[in-house]
Amino acid sequence: MDYNKAASEVIRLIGGKENIVSAAHCATRLRMVIADNSKVNKKELEDAEGVKGVFEASGQLQIIYGTGVVNRVYDEFIKIAGISAATKEEVKSAAAKKGNPLQRFIKTLGDIFVPIVPAIVASGFLMGIMETLNFLINNGYVSLSADNSLFVLASLFANTAYVFLPVLIGFSAAKVFGGNQYLGGVIGMIMVHPNLQNAWTMTGGVEKYLDVLGLWKVPLVGYQGHVISVIIAVFVMATIEKWLHKRVPAIFDLFVTPLVSVFVTGFLTLTVIGPVFNFVEAGIINGIQALIAIPFGIGSLVMGTLYAPTVVTGIHHMYTIIDLGQIKEFGCTYWLPLASAANIAQGAAALAVALKTNDKKLKSMALPSSLSAFMGITEPAIFGVNMRFFRPFICACIGGGCGAMFASITSLGATGTGVTGIFGILLCLNAPMKYLLMFLIAAGVSFALTWIFGYKNKEEQAENNKADVKAVETAAETGKNAETAAEKAETAENTADGITVFAPLTGKVVPLSATGDPTFEAEVLGKGVAIEPAKGEVVAPFDGVVGALMGHAVGLEGENGVELLIHVGIDTVNLQGKHYTSHVTEGQQVKAGELLMTFDMEAIQAAGYKTVTPVIVSNTDDYACVEGETGKQISAGEMLLKLK
Tell me which DSSP letter residue 637 carries.
T
- The catalytic site residues sit at 26, 567
Three-state SS at 501: strand
H or E stretch at 589: strand 589-590
Cα angle 285, 291, 292; round to 5: 85
Helices 228-247, 274-292: axis angle to 10 degrees equals 150
By CB atoms closer than 10 A (0-12, 13-18, 19+), residue 543 is middle
Q: What's the distance, Cα to Cα, between the start and end of the chain in Å? A: 28
Three-state SS at 633: strand
596 closest CA partner among 559, 541, 641? 541
Are the C-beta atoms of 529 and 626 separated by less than 8 Å? no
Are the C-beta atoms of 107 and 164 separated by less than 8 Å? no
- From residue 313, alpha-carbon distances to 102, 342, 385 in Å are 11, 15, 17
Are the C-beta atoms of 294 and 394 separated by less than 8 Å? no
Other beta carbons within 10 angstroms of residue 400's beta carbon come to 33
Cα angle 583, 587, 593; round to 5: 45
639-643 β-sheet, strand order: 499-502, 639-643, 626-628
Three-state SS at 1: coil
307 closest CA partner among 404, 205, 427, 183? 404
H or E stretch at 10: helix 3-13
Alpha helix positions (H), 199-356: 228-247, 250-268, 274-292, 298-313, 319-330, 335-356
User: Could you give the CA distance from residue 333 to residue 313 in angstroms, rounded to a whole number?
Assistant: 23
User: Could you give the CA distance from residue 84 to residue 21 in angstroms, rounded to a whole number?
Assistant: 11
Cα angle 206, 268, 220; round to 5: 15
Three-state SS at 83: coil
User: Could you give the CA distance from residue 356 to residue 264 in angstroms, rounded to a whole number?
Assistant: 62
